[in-house]
Amino acid sequence: MATINAINSPILNCISSGRLTLTSNTPVTTSDVTGATTVYYTPYIGCVESVYNGTVWELLTFTQLSISVPSTTNTNYDVFVYNNGGVLTAASPVAWTNDTTRATALAYQDGVLVKSGDATRKFIGSFRTGSVSGQVADSKSFRHVSNYYNRISRPLLVTDSTSSWTYTSSSFRQARANSANQLDVLICYAEDEIYISVQGLWQGSSTGASGNLGIGINSTSTNSSSLNSNMQTAVGNVARYMSLAIYNDIPPTGRTTFVWLESGANSVTFYGNQNSGIHGIVRN
């Protein structure tokens, strides 16, 4: 590693050419990773990082950095890098107060996000520990690594392989009353939109039965979808219907659960093994 030069340019001070990842030397993972105990900052589109030294910005070349995951559960952490005597170094991760609130705020230095009160610490992203102490996941159902720089589109998907189940209320609930039927996503800084869709097949058991799908934002009972279809069976109609719900918006900073919701007035049978599920795309 080496310091290339000191700069004071609005063009060069935003250079950041790495990505946070859970697999060593793999900046973009294409399969699910769970149970990771180390977060890596890996060169992606180069190996140069701009950092502020308190006076000017400097460019440092770097190789992969390793960050040990703290022994906690269900906690968000911010990752910062800094110039440690000419060597790009990852500072100890900084825990959040809760799922949505930072204990240490971010601030701007020349338009670049840094640690509030210490502009030499440049913000590069966040990660979240899960239900097992000291472990992080980056999978289709748990996107718990969030990059601030060099974000790419990552798939989200949860399905339910249960053949069918019945629901008899017009009130929304989590699909099949199963807490696994949701997406769990960490957003380090709210800027990019997210796309979430729920689709499902259902059949009414009586005239006037109404099947409906929705998307809950940190809720198993309130539908926050941007668009959704609500259909009702006609007399003597035993057809199966495909319903849809879509959420397309900028999600809040922090951890958000996107919950697959359903309602089934006058008794509705939902089918899980007919390509039903919640899916989407997040940039992280």
What is the CATH number for 223?
Answer: 2.60.120.760
Question: Looking at 121, 150, 179, which one is the last position of a domain?
Answer: 150
Highest mean pLDDT: which of 10-14, 46-50, 261-265, 271-275?
46-50
* Residues 232 and 139 both lie in one domain: no
* Angstrom distance (rounded) from CA 205 to CA 182: 27
* Residues 21 and 132 both lie in one domain: yes
Residue 92 has pLDDT above 90, yes or no: yes
Average pLDDT over residues 79-107: 98
Q: What's the domain count of the chain?
A: 2
Question: Looking at 123, 150, 177, which one is the last position of a domain?
Answer: 150
Residue 150 has pLDDT above 50, yes or no: yes
* Residues 18 and 131 both lie in one domain: yes
* Residues 11 and 145 both lie in one domain: yes
Report pLDDT for 232.
58
* Residues 91 and 218 both lie in one domain: no
Selected residue with higher pLDDT from 13 and 148? 148
Residue 9 has pLDDT above 70, yes or no: no
Residue 37 has pLDDT above 70, yes or no: yes
* Residues 135 and 167 both lie in one domain: no
* Residues 246 and 212 both lie in one domain: yes
* Residues 134 and 11 both lie in one domain: yes
Parent domain of 211: 156-283
Question: Looking at 87, 119, 150, which one is the last position of a domain?
Answer: 150
Residue 229 has pLDDT above 90, yes or no: no
Average pLDDT over residues 223-249: 79
Average pLDDT over residues 198-204: 90
* Residues 9 and 75 both lie in one domain: yes
* Residues 90 and 197 both lie in one domain: no
Residue 8 has pLDDT above 70, yes or no: no
* Residues 86 and 175 both lie in one domain: no
* Residues 8 and 146 both lie in one domain: yes
- How far apart are the two ends of the chain, measured CA to CA in Å? 27
